[in-house]
Structure 1
Amino acid sequence: MNDHTDENSTDPTTQRKHAAMIDRLSNLHQARLSTKTNSKDPTFESTQSFLTLFTNSKQSIESSLTQIQQTPNPDPNSDLEKISNSISDLEKLVAENSYFLPPYEVRSSLKTISDLKQTLDSVTSKVKPRKKFSFKNKPAKKPESESKPESESKPEPESQSNYKITDSPGFRGKENAILTKEFTGLEIREFVLSDLTNCEVKLKGCFRTLFINRVQNCKIYVGPVSGSILIEEVEGCLFVLASHQIRIHDAKGCDFYLQCRSRPIIERSFGVRFGPYRLYYDGIETDLKESNLYDDTGNWANVDDFQWLRAVQSPNWSILPENERIDTIKI
């Protein structure tokens, strides 16, 4: 398993594409410089200018949250919706400017946004205790056997998820836990990680499909998955994964260390970084070979952002700098 690809082996066609991309980047840079005086442009290319607007927006949201608690009106729906939209606008601001911001500022901004969401949920539960306001538009689906009364009361639209969390084996609804599982053979086709917070997950051995849904501040280490890994609504996590296909939806501020046969796909995600697979356990080489995942294709660095259709590099993801990558994890 190699940690990098040989840049000198690039074929002439790829070199020409790379040269064309450099030209486009240069032209884009010149165009930005010529329009830099346009005050309506939300893209600054100045960290200080970004921080000024971000801080002002943050303070405005915090002021609105305080005001709604001090003078609640009989029907706060409109006020809550405005605050929710303001937080969404703040997320968009970070996404649009993340391509030039230092990594620390991106992560700090994402943490601020996460805190604002939590405060909004807390305020909502106080002013609307009988019907919890949901920041996201997607329902928090759970297996029928584990559904909770409060989740049933949320009048939310149908999920846009590309997969459904069934009653497959898995870890669900855990906090501050170390969760381990060892697979032998392919007796388990699907495994689920759902609604986890501040957990460390270690999955050894091979299985067919992994679903990861609504996970926050977790470290997840996974042996070879012979089919697909589908990830949705994750934030502040570290993933070490090997699979033939990996799709990532609604990820924020996460690091992914991957070994994959096809190009990883991201959608509605930003502040995500990618590096090569860094996992070891006794027998992992055999598992990788049996799953046809032993050879590093370098696809971990070839990410497709399905919501970024421009010719230039998507600002929503980046390659992890070598000096910031984790060492190989032994589980």
Structure 2
Amino acid sequence: MAESQKVVVMENIEKFDNKKHEIEEKLQKREDERLANIQKRKEEKSAVTSVKESAKFFYDQFSTEKINLENELEKCDSLDKNKLVEKFDDLTAKHQKLQRFFTESTMFLPSYDVQQTLDILSKLQTQIQEKRDKLLPKKKFAFKSKKKGTVVEKQEDVKKEGDDEDDSVILADCKFTDMKEKELYMKDEINKKDVALARLESCTIRLLGAPSAIHINKLTNCTILSGPVSGSIFIRGCKNCTFVVACQQLRIHTTTDTKFFIHVTSRAIIEDCSSVTFGPYNWTYPEIESHYGISGLDKNRNSWDDIDDFNWLAADKHSPNWSLVPESERNNCWN
């Protein structure tokens, strides 16, 4: 064979080998892609199954705990009075635990079910409080004249300092109490936790997180700004304060001369209040979107101007105890 022919044969063999290598690479690439797609589908199927299983576990567990709590609440009617305080403390703690369980499960629940569950938790909380008020009413002042004389004196049980503290403040995971003229902050440590603020004066409090609930008692001349709350905010005995809060339910008791800038997904309730005004929630900070995600609060549902006054029964007249904040006073720069 001539040398030139050998060269041609070698070149053809090399071209064949290169072509064969290219074909093998393409086939291997296709096989790798096929296996990757199979693995991806398996993972997606597993993820969907996991979400469904997690959701089913939540519904089963939540339903069981709800029924147990309702059954225990019914039994309170037959309990001895000296056991009721401990029982209601236990019910409150169980409700808070159930609320935390819900908050931790919102990531795999449909938005409709999130709202339905929030409504159930709110009703349970109201039922516990109403039953407590019924079976353990707060003592009222009694008046008694001295046996021989005209002097009238108040008769009331002597209480130790702190005995009238709200149980929710005592049980809260995070709290600020008994301070004056302070700038106070809580951040992500309050996510999915119960927060309490009590007996504060001339303080500014910023809650940069997504608590499960907030309990507020006896504040004077304070400004409170909070990120979205997955459950309820309870406010009692406050005067000359400003609240900028977002929550599922807002209940306000014995509060006067106070402004509220709120995002609330149900009707806010006031009782024994006067000179309180309401405007839309208007606070923002860098992490607020992620905190809305944690809380599960619906940003598109806000009943900030729909207030229910328990002390005003006339349907045809507006309650004199509350009003709306003028538009010119709603664009505050809280930072």
- The DSSP-based 3-state class of the residue aligned with 1:287 is helix
Question: Match of 2:13?
Answer: none
Query: Pick from 319, 322, 325: which aligns with 1:317?
Result: 322
* Compared CA separation, residues 306 and 177, structure 1 to 2 (3 A): same
In the alignment, structure 1 segments of 5+ residues that lack a partner are: 1-74, 82-132, 140-149
CA RMSD of aligned residues (A): 3.0
1:299 aligns with 2:286: no
Question: Match of 1:174?
Answer: 179
Q: How far is 1:305 from its partner?
A: 0.4
Counting only pairs closer than 5 Å after superposition, residues 195-274 of structure 1 correspond to structure 2 as 195-274=199-278
Give the letter for the 2:244 counterpart: V
TM-score by length of 2: 0.50
Task: Answer with 1 or 2: which has the greater Rg.
Answer: 2
For the Cα contact (< 8 Å) 2:228–2:245, is it kept in 1? yes
> Residue by residue, what CA displacement relative to the aligned partner does 1:136-170 show, whole Å, maximum 9, x if unpaired?
x9x9xxxxxxxxxx97169x9x78x7x64214220
Question: Match of 1:72?
Answer: none
Greater RCO (CA < 8 Å, at least 6 residues apart): 1
- The DSSP-based 3-state class of the residue aligned with 1:288 is helix
Q: How far is 1:321 from its partner?
A: 0.7
Q: Percent same amino acid at aligned positions?
A: 32
1:287 aligns with 2:291: yes
In 1, the alpha carbon distance for the partners of 2:198 and 2:170 equals 11
In 2, the alpha carbon distance for the partners of 1:76 and 1:329 equals 56
* Compared CA separation, residues 78 and 325, structure 1 to 2 (3 A): farther
- The DSSP-based 3-state class of the residue aligned with 2:289 is helix
For the Cα contact (< 8 Å) 1:205–1:223, is it kept in 2? yes
Question: Match of 2:125?
Answer: none
In 2, the alpha carbon distance for the partners of 1:248 and 1:219 equals 16
> Residue by residue, what CA displacement relative to the aligned partner does 1:1-37 show, whole Å, maximum 9, x if unpaired?
xxxxxxxxxxxxxxxxxxxxxxxxxxxxxxxxxxxxx
* Compared CA separation, residues 260 and 307, structure 1 to 2 (3 A): same
In 2, the alpha carbon distance for the partners of 1:296 and 1:234 equals 29
TM-score by length of 1: 0.51
In 2, the alpha carbon distance for the partners of 1:77 and 1:320 equals 47
In 2, the alpha carbon distance for the partners of 1:77 and 1:236 equals 36
Q: How far is 1:240 from its partner?
A: 0.2
Question: Match of 1:60?
Answer: none
In the alignment, structure 2 segments of 5+ residues that lack a partner are: 1-148
Q: How far is 1:207 from its partner?
A: 1.4
> Residue by residue, what CA displacement relative to the aligned partner does 1:197-248 show, whole Å, maximum 9, x if unpaired?
0000001011101000000000000001111100000000000000001100
Question: Match of 1:191?
Answer: 195
Q: How many residues align?
A: 185
In 2, the alpha carbon distance for the partners of 1:237 and 1:185 equals 22
* Compared CA separation, residues 309 and 205, structure 1 to 2 (3 A): same
Question: Match of 2:334?
Answer: 329
Give the letter for the 1:222 counterpart: S
- The DSSP-based 3-state class of the residue aligned with 2:270 is strand
* Compared CA separation, residues 294 and 327, structure 1 to 2 (3 A): farther
Counting only pairs closer than 5 Å after superposition, residues 48-67 of structure 1 correspond to structure 2 as none
In 1, the alpha carbon distance for the partners of 2:290 and 2:161 equals 47
Give the letter for the 2:245 counterpart: L
In 1, the alpha carbon distance for the partners of 2:151 and 2:177 equals 31
* Compared CA separation, residues 251 and 77, structure 1 to 2 (3 A): farther
* Compared CA separation, residues 328 and 294, structure 1 to 2 (3 A): farther
- The DSSP-based 3-state class of the residue aligned with 1:299 is coil
* Compared CA separation, residues 201 and 318, structure 1 to 2 (3 A): same
For the Cα contact (< 8 Å) 2:169–2:197, is it kept in 1? no
> Residue by residue, what CA displacement relative to the aligned partner does 1:255-288 show, whole Å, maximum 9, x if unpaired?
0000011010000001000000011111102212
In 2, the alpha carbon distance for the partners of 1:197 and 1:76 equals 40
For the Cα contact (< 8 Å) 1:285–1:294, is it kept in 2? no
In 2, the alpha carbon distance for the partners of 1:279 and 1:219 equals 12
